């Protein structure tokens, strides 16, 4: 390819003036001009592996969490093993998917004041529970950043197991 460099004689003699177009040009042989490369199509992405023992929204069946994400019982103090929500039994989970969190608000619960965010299904906006952002009582700080999901709002084939595990822990 031929690259053209314009030489403006007036600009060379008077560099403080802006350059103006002139007839004088100089051609220099340069490497051929290359166009930008054509974007390559991305390889087909693999589907995500199935979530083992999923817990889904009761209304739209969107996967919300997994039974394997239940807060480990060894991390829960013995006096705090039975959680209750607005609609009955609840459980603490370490992770959730496909949910929307509201703005944090301070709520007074049976165990003290907590900053919480309401959790709703991102697909159908059904209420599912709360995320505990901050616990103001030092003895309750172990709950921070966990998700309190109400079991009555979740649909799963493992619900009987969760209910029986809760009754065994409380007895």
The confidence score (pLDDT) of residue 77 equals: 82
Tokens of 14: 């008077």
Nearest to 134 by CA among 143, 125, 124: 143
Tokens of 5: 């460099």
Please give the Cα distance from 104 to 114 (Å, whole number). 10
pLDDT (mean) for 102-115: 90
pLDDT over 70 percentage in the chain: 68
The alpha helices in the chain, defined as continuous H runs, are: 9-13, 159-170
Give pairs for 43-52: CB < 8 Å, separation 24+: 51/97
Confidence of residue 67 (pLDDT cuts 50, 70, 90): confident
Tell me the domains of the chain and their CATH numbers: 1-33 (no CATH), 54-170 (2.170.150.20)
pLDDT (mean) for 144-149: 91
**pLDDT tens digits for 110-130?**
888 999 999 999 989 999 999
């Amino acid at each position: 390819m031929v690259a053209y460099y314009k030489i403006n004689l007036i600009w060379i003699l008077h560099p403080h003036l802006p350059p103006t177009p002139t007839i004088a040009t100089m051609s220099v042989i340069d490497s051929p001009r290359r166009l930008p490369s054509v974007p390559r199509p991305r390889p087909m992405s693999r589907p995500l592996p199935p979530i083992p023992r999923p817990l889904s929204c009761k209304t739209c069946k969107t996967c919300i969490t997994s039974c394997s994400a239940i807060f480990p019982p060894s991390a829960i103090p013995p006096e705090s093993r039975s959680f209750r929500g607005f609609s009955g039994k609840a459980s603490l989970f370490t992770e959730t998917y496909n949910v929307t969190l509201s703005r944090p608000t301070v709520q007074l619960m049976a165990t003290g004041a907590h900053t919480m965010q309401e959790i709703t299904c991102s697909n159908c906006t059904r209420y599912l529970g709360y995320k505990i952002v901050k616990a103001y009582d030092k003895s309750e700080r172990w709950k921070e950043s966990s998700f309190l999901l109400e079991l009555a709002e979740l649909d799963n084939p493992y619900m009987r197991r969760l209910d029986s595990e809760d009754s065994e822990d409380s007895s």
